[in-house]
Chains A and B, each alone.
Chain A
């Protein structure tokens, strides 16, 4: 995504995975709110920390840095680890 390799530059936010989450959930998800399973903080998906330099997307809590989600995509499949999210709430 960027030319330099500083860790801070690789750090993005939930807006960057809006398209990926739309593929999976078929809904606009950056306004969805997730509760961190570790610290209980509630954040909009647009606010969470996202790293795309891993093989897939790693999503972390902006309050405690705990991993909220991991999403890997390949060979026509998705692998979604949601163990770090206690609740994901969004409008129907």
Chain B
């Protein structure tokens, strides 16, 4: 798919083929979108809900599926006073139709042809676009050295926990490091604090390896990680960030 050239962004209907609960507050919606033009790992869609009285609410959600996957998957965190997410996590049922448009974005994308080692840093549901990259990497048989540093509040809040465990055990160059910032299960071996410079130097690549870096999560976390990496000597041009907008509301 070319991300360039004029192409009208049209609203279309996707049918919910499957609902996959990920954590107590997060669910994946697997959508069947008949005229889906294809996407790149890291892009998002806009989802629009229309009430009976015509009122519309619209939010952006990152795409979790790889470009190679047969269905389009978005993963949504339920925000109690949100306008869209409480419908998508809790109310929507298999067979329902959801109005969406996309794919959108071209800045925060990764393709498997990029030869640089990859450092992915996620906070909470910021893992979603990075998951699309990890799945894309898996689908294409890439053994590109890739490290994911993923910050969650607690063990139960880790999205894609089993899939990440399985992929990291595959021995094809993907490693996953977790940090749990609020609560840790007994005997927890991973990190137990917010992401800091020490953690980034232990998990990340030496700057001389010139990795491509993608950081996605809540705004304060993204800004702290990006400025820490720049302080550590990483090339600012190699660090791409996406603040939480693509998953909120």
Chain A residues packing against B (C-beta within 8 Å)? 1-3, 8-9, 11-16, 18-19, 22-23, 26-28, 30-31, 44-47, 50, 52, 91
How far does the Cβ of B74 sit from chain A's closest Cβ, in whole Å? 14
In the assembled complex, the CB of B248 is this many whole angstroms from the nearest CB of chain A, namely 4
In angstroms, how far is the closest chain A Cβ from the Cβ of B126?
A: 12
- Selected from A3, A8, A18, the residue in CB contact (under 8 A) with B220 is A8
B60-A19 in contact (CB<8A): yes
- B20 nearest CB across to chain A (Å): 23
* A47/B107 in contact, CB under 8 A: yes
Chain B residues with Cβ under 8 A from A11's Cβ?
219, 243
Known: A2-B249, A19-B60. A46 touches B105 (CB 8 A): yes
Residue pair A12, B105 in contact (C-beta under 8 Å): no
Within 8 A of A (CB), among B5-44: 5-9, 44
- Number of chain B residues close to chain A: CB under 8 A: 35
Cα–Cα, bound, A47→B242 (Å): 8
Instruction: State the majority secondary structure of interface residues on A.
Output: mixed
- Top 8 nearest A-B pairs (CB, nearest first) are A46-B107, A16-B245, A30-B107, A1-B248, A12-B245, A18-B104, A26-B6, A28-B106
State the CA gap A31–B249 with chains docked (Å).
25
From residue B155, how far is it (CB to closest CB) to chain A in Å?
22
Chain A neighbourhood of B104, CB < 8 A: 18-19, 22, 28
Are B248 and A13 touching (Cβ within 8 A)? Answer: no
Q: Which residues on A sit within 8 Å (CB–CB) of B60?
A: 16, 18-19
Task: Enumerate chain A residues within 8 angstroms of B248, measured Cβ to Cβ.
Answer: 1-2
Residues of B within 8 A of A8 (CB): 219-220, 223
Q: Give min CB distance, B46 to chain A, whole Å.
A: 4
A86 CA to B8 CA, complexed, in Å: 27
Contacts of A18 in B (CB 8 A): 44, 60, 104-107
B209 interface residue, CB < 8 Å from A? Answer: no
A-B contact pairs, 19 of them (CB 8 A): A1-B244, A2-B218, A2-B248, A2-B249, A13-B242, A13-B243, A15-B44, A15-B108, A15-B242, A15-B246, A18-B60, A18-B106, A19-B60, A26-B6, A26-B9, A28-B105, A30-B106, A31-B3, A31-B106
